[in-house]
Structure 1
């Protein structure tokens, strides 16, 4: 009767190899030789082959989930926000405007209808230049927000943000949380 295979997994080959070497005592081969032996036992030619195969797998997996991010564009946009995550001024470049709008989009409630007053109040809390109408109109033209033709019932359009927007939203989340935390502390005091 064939025995079922027992899977073996080690998070770090170096730690596994050192532990095995200690158990083998004086009869243990050198660290590198033992690591090469373990790599061959796992089906690789040697340790270097195992490392390169693992690195290639990580690159391929990362390529599936992450798109290349234009870090410079994210950095340019981050400069438009203050220390607590509010948009300081309306950016002059359209690409920076659009990226900034994604961060405002992320702070709007999902799946909820809002009046013009509600959306304006929310946007006013997130920017410092006092023009929620420009933000509303631009968000509608960018496909981030929808409204009825009569100007009522604004609603966030649910879609996946681009890679740069995800990075920006993540970076600004810490600033916004700090602001909200301070606001809660002052209201409880």
Structure 2
């Protein structure tokens, strides 16, 4: 006859060991010794080991729910853009390049086929060094854009951006909104804002 396991959930080991000590009466070992015995019975080396394992599990669970961003990488990438959200230069570091391309990817309309001339126009409006071909090719190789073989239709590849890209896109969006507001205000609005 197989024996069924009976699960036991204890919310507070200290409270549980005190209740057990009361049941054992005079034969009960000291509180800390009893807590170590209970921890060993649960498969841990001792109480400290149990605390360490549970603390690590809590940290890992928290890390899975909210991935931390590489703020230094975001900061380095932001320096490649001007105050209006335009890419100033082609970054030399690959990680910064990729993240900067996510900043450009965000300005492409989702699920919209675009001819190469429209892609070039959009990219020229978002960078200063006038090389849309490099940007197009690199965005395709990074999996941010796709195109037909004849180059007639480009389309943004929809995806969940990495944590760093989300932070960068958010900051660049604010800069681009400022640029848009200044452009719609006309020459008078620009003069008054200086």
Q: TM-score, normalised by structure 2?
A: 0.64
Over 3 Å counting, the alpha-carbon distance change for 1:151 and 1:72 in structure 2 is same
Instruction: State the partner residue of 1:89.
Output: 89
**How far apart in 1 are the matches of 2:95 and 2:154?**
24
Instruction: State the partner residue of 2:66.
Output: 66
Instruction: State the partner residue of 1:128.
Output: 128
**How far apart in 2 are the matches of 1:187 and 1:109?**
28
Instruction: State the partner residue of 2:186.
Output: 186
The runs of 5 or more residues in structure 1 that have no matched partner are: 1-58
CA offset digits 1:126-182 (Å, max 9, x no partner): 000000000000000000000000111000000000000001111111100000111
Over 3 Å counting, the alpha-carbon distance change for 1:65 and 1:111 in structure 2 is farther
Instruction: State the partner residue of 1:98.
Output: 98
Over 3 Å counting, the alpha-carbon distance change for 1:64 and 1:153 in structure 2 is same
Instruction: State the partner residue of 1:148.
Output: 148
The runs of 5 or more residues in structure 2 that have no matched partner are: 1-58, 190-194
Instruction: State the partner residue of 1:30.
Output: none
Give the greater-gyration-radius structure (CA): 2
What SS is found at the alignment partner of 1:169? helix
Question: How far 1:184 sits from its partner (Å)?
Answer: 1.4
Q: Is the 1:66–1:163 Cα contact (8 Å) retained in structure 2? A: no
CA offset digits 1:98-124 (Å, max 9, x no partner): 000001001110010000000000000
**How far apart in 2 are the matches of 1:123 and 1:65?**
35
Question: How far 1:63 sits from its partner (Å)?
Answer: 3.8
**How far apart in 2 are the matches of 1:153 and 1:62?**
42
CA RMSD, 1 decimal: 2.1
Question: How far 1:183 sits from its partner (Å)?
Answer: 1.1
